[in-house]
Amino acid sequence: MPLFRSAGPHRLPRLDALVYGGDYNPEQWPEDIWAEDVALMRQAGVNLVSLGVFSWALLEPEPGVFDFGWLDRVFDLLAAGGIAVALATPTAAPPPWFARANPDSLPVTRDGRRLGAGSRQAICPSSPAFAEAAVRIAGKLAERYGHRDNLMLWHVFNEYMAPTGECYCEQSVQHFRHWLRDRYTNLDSLNEAWGTTFWGQRYGDWDEIDAPRTAPSAVNPAQRLDFARFTDAAWLECFRRERDAIRTHSPDIPVTTNFQDARCKGLNQWAWAAEVDVVSNGHYLVAEENENHIGLALAADLTRGVAAGGSWLLMEHSTSAVNWQERNIAKRPGEMARNSLAHFARGADGIMFFQWRASRFGQEKFHSAMLPHGGTDTRIWREVVELGATLAVLGEARGAQVAGDVAVVWDWESWWALELDWRPSADVRYVDQVRRWYEQLWRSHLTVDFVAPEAELGRYPLVVVPSLYLTTEAAAKNLRGYVEAGGTLVVSFFSGIVDENDAVVPGAVPGALRDLLGITIEEFLPLRAGERVTVAAVESGPGPGWSGTIWTDDLRLREAEPFAVYEDGPAAGKPAVTRNRVGAGTAWYVSTALDGPGLKALLDRIGAARPAFAGLPETVEVVRRVGAGAEYVTVINHGEHEATLPIAGVELVVGAEVPELVVPGGQVRVVRRTV
Ligand code: GAL
């Protein structure tokens, strides 16, 4: 599927190439630099820039007074240079006059502090003043630029809910009450869903309901979960309003907003994906982490999942260091290309950066850019030019679909619920648990498709469900159907516990998945900080085992058989890993956070999925994209030593027909083979 998938009458791919470019903020520079910018963009092979992301204060210097002259000139220069534009609505940074005129549009934190305006995203999503002003500027931009030849994409706002996006002001409370009335219709239903007989919270009037602000003790978890849903919905309304204002004037140009993959907890991206024409993402490495490319792979796979397996656009990443981590480690030579091509391998049809030219001033002046402070006589610039040339030859792979080997279930609502107060262990963090499984699948050279719990799973030989604490009936039914039809399911601890109201599924735990897993859990036995337990496989008898942390269960077998047992710890002698045959398939349960080698050994033992290429060094990443008549195999060598793979075809990066593929340490190769 091409990047610009059709979700209606829109979506015309205007670029016959992979996208390459970055955020372009010409307003930070004197006008005489703009022509040089365009010339250098051409030199680097840039074909798309994201324009105007934070330019509201310049475009509308006074309420209702617009100045588009400078943007007209930038558009003209870019058009003359053959460079397309992703035009942003600048609404993530309202002008100072807006906050001054509408102090009640500034967000209020959970503990009641109103935040200041001197940064960005200082917005209450329920502010009517913001809604009106945002729609006005979005509409004006669409009216003026919607028919420009080099306009390729609309980029609404910037990273919704980064960092949090919650607001507890009076306007939000009113909006929350409306949202609750729509959801529950009457107070009896709300009282029941929220379990308000607990701690005597029964509501007799809608106006008694508040946002779940900081209170002397833990706040009703169902209320908090609904507030998370409401906040997500409130921002989605903001997006829809701007998108629809744009479409009035510019119906043919696709609209996106840049997500933040697994870093953004607040947006239920499964729902948002249906509202955008193009899925786009911004990704930044946890630079200090060893093997940070595994986190990158996870983010890219998640974004592709959100794009329903289709192509997506990497709207931002960095050429080298960012400036907002504790220690901003610079990328080493070749790392930017490896990162960029890993995104490409995992379905990105465009690679963009924050930002084109490094800012001289402001909060992000120490952030790397395509054109560094040092100009063109720099390693980064040379690598940027080289990457542009590589992407140009890889353009033929555009639209090719990534061939996923296994599915991992991902769920935002379950994440929200899992991390509320007073869970059995604060050490169970959702992304950490997903990451544990993901990492071992990555080391096994298996490509992961992230899927929603209700997604069609039939084509996967293996489906992994990490800590799906909140499991709806529909999800449980879906997982059961998958196993009955012959699938292999692996579920990890603290799954199937509560329903969509954070109420324990009636009967023995784990209610929603009990029958499928063939077990009951008599008691959760979470571990102390740093505590390790030993897990031994039943079949191989006791001996040096795997270790588990964070969690164990007092687990009873029903239909399931034990696969591994605890040798020590609070669950000593009890099953640690079980399997249950259901219909034509098998459902496994893993009741602790196994260490990496243990998890990998278990996955090997389950053996349901096999990588396309066996026997590769762990540091070699291989991902396939399948297009019409050709398959593109990207091989990224994260190790220092040369790797040889039995892949024959046309290697596109260096440009040669190869009988087998040799990838030097630190390099990337992409082979086209005929299928
Ligand atoms: C992104 C943001 C950009 C820039 C970048 C720096 O999250 O969208 O505007 O701030 O981070 O890494």
Strand partners, 348: 312
Q: Is 618 a catalytic residue?
A: no
Beta strands in 137-267 (DSSP E): 151-155, 255-256, 258-259
Measured torsion, CA atoms of residues 668, 259, 4, 388, in degrees rounded to the nearest 10: -30
- Distance (Å, whole) CA 392 – CA 413: 40
In this structure, are residues 441 and 465 in contact, taking their beta carbons and an 8 Å threshold? Answer: no
Residue 312 token pair: 């997506």
Cα 365 to ligand 1 centroid, rounded to whole Å: 12
In this structure, are residues 630 and 637 in contact, taking their beta carbons and an 8 Å threshold? Answer: no
User: Three-state SS across 586-630?
Assistant: EEEEECCEECHHHHHHHHHHHCCCCCCCCCCCCCEEEEEEECCCE
Cis peptide bond N-terminal to 506, omega within 30: no
Residue from 256, 281, 316 to probe ligand 1 pocket by mutation (most atoms less than 8 Å from CB): 316
Cα 360 to ligand 1 centroid, rounded to whole Å: 16
Q: What local confidence, expressed as pLDDT, does residue 156 receive? A: 98
Residue 5 has pLDDT above 70, yes or no: no
- Distance (Å, whole) CA 670 – CA 398: 13
Q: Is 159 a catalytic residue?
A: yes
Span 454-466, pLDDT tens digits: 999 999 999 999 9
- Distance (Å, whole) CA 297 – CA 285: 10
Cα 381 to ligand 1 centroid, rounded to whole Å: 20
Span 6-28, pLDDT tens digits: 343 334 356 789 999 999 999 99
Q: What does pTM read for this prediction?
A: 0.97
Backbone angles phi and psi of 587, in degrees to 5: -115, 120
Cβ(261) – ligand 1 distance below 6 Å: no
Beta strands in 337-439 (DSSP E): 348-353, 401-402, 406-409
Backbone angles phi and psi of 136, in degrees to 5: -65, -50
Q: How far is CA 257 from the centre of its chain?
A: 13
Span 95-122, pLDDT tens digits: 999 999 999 999 999 999 999 999 999 9
Q: Name the region of 426 (left: φ>0; alpha: ψ -120 to 50; beta: rest).
A: alpha
- Distance (Å, whole) CA 230 – CA 501: 14
Residue from 320, 331, 354 to probe ligand 1 pocket by mutation (most atoms less than 8 Å from CB): 354
Q: What local confidence, expressed as pLDDT, does residue 319 receive? A: 98
Cβ(282) – ligand 1 distance below 6 Å: yes
Q: What local confidence, expressed as pLDDT, does residue 16 receive? A: 83
Residue 582 token pair: 């259901």
pLDDT confidence bin for 543, thresholds 50/70/90: low
How many CB atoms sit inside 10 A of residue 344's CB? 26
Tell me which of 60, 242, 316, 621 is the catalytic residue.
316
pLDDT confidence bin for 545, thresholds 50/70/90: confident
